[in-house]
Amino acid sequence: MDYFVCIQRTLVYIEENLQEQITLEKLAEIACFSPFHYHRVFQAIVGESVMDYVRKRRLTYAAEQLFYTNEKLINIAIDAGFQYQESFNRAFKKHYGISPRQYRHAKRISGPLRGKAYLNTNLISGGHKMEPKLVTKPAFHIIGYELKTKNEYGQNNKDIPEFWQQYMRNGLGCNIPNPIHQNVELGICTDFNPETGEFVYIIGMEVEEGAQAPEGMVYRSFPELEYAVFTTPKSDEGSFVPSIQSTWKYIFTEWFPQSGYEHHGSIEFELYDERCYGSENKVMDIYIPVKKQTVKA
């Protein structure tokens, strides 16, 4: 399956239907993916969540109409896919910092503007290939610290590193009671809402079933699933984070299209253990829950 062709079909559909209701389910159907798998593939290839992209394209269209035409605000709101002018005004002001009327009176067109996405097929490197291990991980339980964030405007890219810095700086892992594996920490993404981009991120450790979480922490259980486990390339301190990011990109732009699998849609997590210590040959594991692909292009 050519993922770029699948995503391009949905980009064309978005441009042709900015005035209509656009749902994640419809876009996933056009791409021939499950909704969650489509959401993750689109984000990996385009660089932002699909519904965030749709919202930015609509607001960019509205900004252009405000600058170049004398069309009534209510008509621009409707043409930009908003049912009510009030909701359009709120979204526009949140995005641009001023109301639509103020934007028109400013007599200049200014950002942030989101142009149409053009896919860069060079994202597929054709270079080093990673072969994941397919493992069935039994149900497990964790105690840790929870963060609610969203990928709208890249908010998670700011929130999660700050969350980790706070965790490490304050030695919060030492407060987790009776971990099964000492010095093995999980960074878990769960409770995804692809429509809004919201999800929960947890830093924690595995514990016995039924363990009691101290105040300020959470206890969560996750079911048995099959995972594709990717180990990042060996890296020094300076290239460790880029190697993690490039591995995530590889998973969705190179491995999934050839694998016959799709994302299960429940959780995904990174595993950090003693291999992360030191300044050389650092590696970590990325666990992606998978299931056999059921929808074909």
Tell me which residue of 251, 247, 229 sits closest to 239, measured CA to CA. 247
pLDDT at residue 159 greater than cutoff 90: yes
The reply to whether 94 and 140 lie within a common domain is no
> Do 100 and 153 lie in a common domain?
no
Query: In the Cβ-directed half-sphere of 57, how many Cα atoms lie within 13 Å?
Result: 22
Residue 117 within a domain: no
For residues 196 and 139, which has the higher predicted lDDT (pLDDT)? 139
Residue appearing with tokens 């878990």: 188
Based on the domain organization, do 57 and 95 belong to the same domain? yes
Check the CA dihedral 227-119-109-81 and report its sign. negative
The more confident residue out of 153 and 250 is 250
In tens, the pLDDT along 2-60 reads 899 999 999 999 999 998 989 999 999 999 998 989 999 998 899 888 999 999 999 99
Domain assignment present for 194? yes
Q: Domain tally for the chain? A: 2
Question: Quick check: is 144 in a domain?
Answer: yes
> In the prediction, which pLDDT does 122 show?
58
Whole-number pLDDT of residue 195: 79
Q: How far apart are CA 96 and CA 103, in angstroms?
A: 8
158 and 100, same structural domain? no
Question: For 216, left (φ over 0), alpha (ψ -120 to 50), or beta?
Answer: left
Q: What is the mean pLDDT of the chain?
A: 91
Higher pLDDT: 110 or 255? It is 255
* pLDDT for position 284: 95
Instruction: Look at residue 71 and tell me if it is in a domain.
Output: yes
pLDDT at 296 over 60: no
Domain boundaries, position 233: 133-292
Question: Does any domain span residue 121?
Answer: no
- Residue 154: the pLDDT is 75
pLDDT digits (tens, 9 = 90+) for 89-118: 999 999 999 999 999 998 788 878 898 888
pLDDT category at 165 given cuts 50, 70, 90 is very high
Same-domain status, 21 and 141: no
Strands (E), the chain: 133-137, 140-150, 185-193, 198-207, 218-222, 225-231, 261-263, 268-272, 285-292
Same domain, 84 and 168: no
CATH code, domain carrying 24: 1.10.10.60
Pair (161, 62) in one structural domain: no
Is 297 a member of any domain?
no
185: nearest Cα among 235, 136, 244, 142: 142
Residues 89, 142, single domain; the answer is no
Do 96 and 163 lie in one domain? The reply is no
pLDDT band at 297 (very low <50, low <70, confident <90, very high): very low
- Phi/psi of residue 288, nearest 5 degrees: -115, 120
Regarding whether 281 and 146 lie in a shared domain, the answer is yes
What are 119-141's pLDDT values in tens digits? 866 554 444 578 899 999 999 99
Is the domain of 34 the same as that of 170? Answer: no
Q: What pLDDT digit, counting tens, does each position of 257-284 carry?
A: 989 999 998 899 999 999 998 889 999 9
* 159 and 215 together in one domain: yes
**∠ CA(129), CA(252), CA(273), 5° rounding?**
70
Give the residue from 260, 247, 238 showing the smallest Cα distance to 287.
Answer: 247
Token pair belonging to 113: 């503007």
Residue 126 lies in a domain: no
**pLDDT-derived band at 1, boundaries 50, 70, 90:** low
Q: Which residue has the tokens 């429940």?
A: 266
